[in-house]
Amino acid sequence: MNANIQRILDKATAGERLTFDEGVALFDCKDLLALGRAADVVCKRLHPEPYRTFNIDRNVNYTNICAAVCDFCAFYRKSNDADAYVLPREELYQKIEETIALGGDQILMQGGLHPSYKLDWYEELLRDLRTRYPSVNLHAFSPPEIWHFHKLNKLPLRDVLQRLKAAGLGSLPGGGGEILVDRVRQAMTVNKCLTDEWLEVHRVWHELGGRSTCTMMFGHIETLPERIETLDRLRRLQDETKGFTAFICWTFQPEHTAMAEVHPAGAYEYLKTQAIARLYLDNIPNIQSSWVTQGPKIGQMGLLFGANDMGSLMIEENVVSKAGTVFHLSLDQIKSAIRELGYIPRQRNVFYQYIDGEVSGQWPVASGQWPLASGQWSVASAKNNDVQTVPLGALRNLSVLKSAPATSHRPPATDH
Ligand code: SF4
């Protein structure tokens, strides 16, 4: 082991913040297991409890019509394309009702950047769903969509977010993060928000008291320092707002995209990058492993490389399947993957509150409740009136494919 890399790993495991250069230097580490061990130490310090978590939600892609062009996206269509769609409301209701029946508590609702729908269309959609399904969290509209609403409606960003929040928006997904470096974004996308704009959407949402996730899609045209720059931008915003609940990274899936010539990153690169993210992002409490793109075995290994969460059961997987790569897991498989590692599987919601009713106590979710310097968590009061208790026993052996075929769009892969 290179002495400098060992020093950096020791620094991170001791709870000290890494510099940008130290983050970049970790990519020189050829000892994947050493990186994983260090990330696991940090993960266990942040999450000493004997649980590892998952959630149950559904991707609903309300439209594939998009005013942007992203070379890495196999999902978008133009308005006059034969297979362009806007999901009929009845179909949307049906998907949500199936999700509730399967124990899900949330829908991840995203779509293309529709060129003509005004803000009141989205407000009406949220109000309708909030009224019909008050227990379902609407985790909706990635920053590129929100920025698009802001531009199209010629309204201040804060007003857009306030109106959506008032209409029922529950939390913001972190799609469209890709790499937070304008050189990369401008090379791969047209008519889509740039780095500062993506961050500004989160900043304002956090200032309004909202919570969101953040993402990184890597393994395409970015350099290794640009991966660290992405993590650095996220860390700096989190220092300001403390509004990110979780970080998720995954590798670019090039099949059927305009970047099909890119050689896809493998498991080594995925685990290495995720471990480095855990070491670098000292202020973002949770990291999800990405079994959807990496497969169940690597997804499980992700829990030893800095992740404390298996992500979603993913009742419906869309974008990844458009891009060619998709894995399916049953709830029992997710729980078994967690148990094999010696942890107790727990279902949680988007705020990382346990919602399986098996053990009392909540994760910190309210403003200002984040990991303490000691590595322990401050304790949040459990005011989760809208959290439902889910009969997990009813979900045994459920296959995600049984409930819904993959037909539309999953932003964590398209990275909208
Ligand atoms: S990734 Fe999102 S913004 Fe980009 S083309 Fe696809 S649907 Fe549109």
Asked if residue 304 has pLDDT above 60, the reply is yes
Tell me the pLDDT of the chain averaged across its residues. 85
Least Cα distance to 276 among 80, 40, 94 occurs for 40
Residue pair 205/161 in contact by the 8 Å Cβ criterion: yes
Least Cα distance to 330 among 412, 250, 397 occurs for 397
Residue range 30-36: average pLDDT? 97
Residue range 15-31: average pLDDT? 97
Asked if residue 61 has pLDDT above 70, the reply is yes
Residue bearing the bigger pLDDT, 392 or 198: 198
Residue bearing the bigger pLDDT, 388 or 41: 41
Mutation test residue for ligand 1: of 65, 70, 194, the one with most atoms within 8 Å of CB: 70
Residue 185 near ligand 1, beta carbon < 6 Å: no
Q: Spell out the long-range contacts of 335-338 with Cβ–Cβ below 8 A and sequence spacing 24 or more.
A: 335/54, 337/291, 337/296, 337/299, 337/300, 337/303, 337/310, 338/52, 338/54, 338/300, 338/303, 338/310
Residue bearing the bigger pLDDT, 413 or 73: 73
Residue 111 near ligand 1, beta carbon < 6 Å: no
Least Cα distance to 107 among 62, 164, 66 occurs for 62
pLDDT for the residue numbered 36: 98
Residue 274 near ligand 1, beta carbon < 6 Å: no
Asked if residue 358 has pLDDT above 50, the reply is yes
Atom of ligand 1 minimally distant from the CA of 64:
7
Residue 61 near ligand 1, beta carbon < 6 Å: no
Pick the range with the lowest mean pLDDT from 206-215, 232-241, 384-393: 384-393
Which residue segment(s) compose the domain that 21 sits in? Answer: 3-414
Residue 416 near ligand 1, beta carbon < 6 Å: yes
Residue with CA at minimum distance from ligand 1 atom 7: 112
pLDDT for the residue numbered 1: 77
Strand partners, 288: 248, 309
Asked if residue 385 has pLDDT above 90, the reply is no
Residue 76 near ligand 1, beta carbon < 6 Å: yes
Q: Is 53 helix (H, G, I), strand (E, B) or coil?
A: strand
Tell me how far the alpha carbon of residue 72 lies from the centroid of ligand 1, in angstroms: 8
pLDDT for 150-165, tens place per residue? 999 999 999 999 999 9
Asked if residue 363 has pLDDT above 50, the reply is no
Is residue 290 within a helix (H) or strand (E), and if so which, with residue range? none
pLDDT for 314-323, tens place per residue? 666 454 445 5
How many domains does the chain divide into? 1
What CATH number has the domain bearing residue 329?
A: 3.20.20.70
Q: How far is CA 277 from CA 64, 258, 270, 291, in A?
A: 31, 28, 11, 17
pLDDT for 70-104, tens place per residue? 999 999 999 999 999 999 999 999 999 988 988 88
Pick the range with the lowest mean pLDDT from 21-25, 64-68, 168-172, 294-298: 294-298
Encoded amino acid at 333, one letter: Q
Tell me how far the alpha carbon of residue 332 lies from the centroid of ligand 1, in angstroms: 33
pLDDT for the residue numbered 403: 27
pLDDT for 237-278, tens place per residue? 999 999 999 999 999 999 889 999 999 999 999 999 999 999
The position carrying tokens 């991966």 is 227
Residue 410 near ligand 1, beta carbon < 6 Å: no
Residue 66 near ligand 1, beta carbon < 6 Å: yes
Residue bearing the bigger pLDDT, 127 or 381: 127
Residue 330's pLDDT band (cuts 50, 70, 90): confident
Least Cα distance to 197 among 142, 140, 272 occurs for 142
Tokens linked to 313: 């059961």
pLDDT for the residue numbered 256: 87
Asked if residue 326 has pLDDT above 80, the reply is no
Neighbours of 68 (CB within 10 A): 19
Least Cα distance to 54 among 296, 372, 243 occurs for 296
Residue bearing the bigger pLDDT, 312 or 77: 77
Residue 217 near ligand 1, beta carbon < 6 Å: no
Atom of ligand 1 minimally distant from the CA of 66:
8
Atom of ligand 1 minimally distant from the CA of 415:
1
Q: Is 106 helix (H, G, I), strand (E, B) or coil?
A: strand
- By residue count, the chain amounts to 416
What percentage of residues in the chain have a pLDDT greater than 70?
Answer: 82
What percentage of residues in the chain have a pLDDT greater than 90?
Answer: 74
Pick the range with the lowest mean pLDDT from 237-251, 291-305, 341-355, 376-390: 376-390
Residue with CA at minimum distance from ligand 1 atom 2: 416
Atom of ligand 1 minimally distant from the CA of 72:
1
Atom of ligand 1 minimally distant from the CA of 414:
1
Tell me how far the alpha carbon of residue 146 lies from the centroid of ligand 1, in angstroms: 13
Asked if residue 19 has pLDDT above 50, the reply is yes
Q: How far is CA 15 from CA 12, 18, 42, 373, in A?
A: 5, 9, 8, 8
Residue 75 near ligand 1, beta carbon < 6 Å: yes
Residue range 146-152: average pLDDT? 98
Residue bearing the bigger pLDDT, 361 or 135: 135
